[in-house]
């Protein structure tokens, strides 16, 4: 770890000290614990009190929030947000552009595909498909966000269709 610190102001006006990690040069809070074999890409941030285990990999643009614990051998893709006090078990793989909510728990060896959202407090005990929204607890049902969008669009068009029909009768 380098000895040069950068001070960054958070949303509450508090100053936090960060240093570049020796592997990957990502920004690591002075109060976080990052194993020397972990790799943090240059545009990634590890917030105060977060922990990264041996061999963990954090992709470019990712943000590990306060108090999160990342297990050994975890791979986190690019542009991922891991929420406050979230837990990711050993060997898990998190795809790019994924959001993991505060206090969510992902068990050992799980695979969470790209563009997935895991809500706050969620327990993930099975792998998730791409574009999934995990919101049951435990996450035994996974609905693809595309399917949700299609259903909402269908309902909206049905409502608009009936409204248009009523308008045509009035005219």
pLDDT at 138 over 60: no
Work out the mean pLDDT of the chain and round it to a whole number: 81
User: What angle is formed at CA 52 by the lines to CA 46 and CA 56, rounded to 5 degrees?
Assistant: 110
Least confident of 61-65, 67-71, 82-86, 133-137: 133-137
Strand ranges across the sheet with 15-20: 5-9, 15-20, 27-29, 45-46, 63-64, 81-82, 99-100, 117-118, 132-134, 143-144
- 3.40.50.620, 2.40.110.10, 2.30.30.40, 2.160.10.10: which CATH number matches 5-140? 2.160.10.10
Each residue of 19-73: pLDDT tens digit? 777 766 788 888 899 999 999 998 899 999 999 999 999 999 999 999 999 999 9
pTM given for the model = 0.73
Task: Assign 133 a pLDDT band (cuts: 50, 70, 90).
Answer: confident
128 near 142, Cβ under 8 Å? yes
């Amino acid at each position: 770890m380098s000895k040069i610190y950068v001070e960054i102001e958070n949303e509450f006006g508090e100053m936090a000290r960060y240093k570049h990690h020796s592997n990957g040069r990502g920004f690591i809070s002075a109060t976080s614990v990052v194993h020397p074999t972990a790799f943090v890409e240059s545009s990634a941030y590890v917030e105060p009190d977060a922990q990264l285990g041996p061999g963990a990999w954090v992709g470019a643009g990712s943000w590990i929030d306060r108090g999160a614990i990342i297990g050994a051998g975890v791979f986190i893709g690019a542009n991922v947000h891991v929420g406050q006090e979230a837990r990711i078990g050993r060997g898990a793989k998190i795809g790019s552009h994924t959001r993991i909510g505060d206090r969510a728990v992902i068990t050992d060896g799980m695979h969470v595909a790209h563009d997935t959202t895991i809500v706050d407090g969620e327990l993930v005990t099975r792998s998730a498909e791409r574009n999934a929204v995990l919101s049951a607890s435990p996450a035994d049902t996974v609905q693809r966000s595309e399917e949700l969008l299609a259903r909402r669009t269908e309902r909206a068009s049905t409502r608009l269709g009936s409204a248009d029909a009523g308008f045509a009768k009035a005219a």
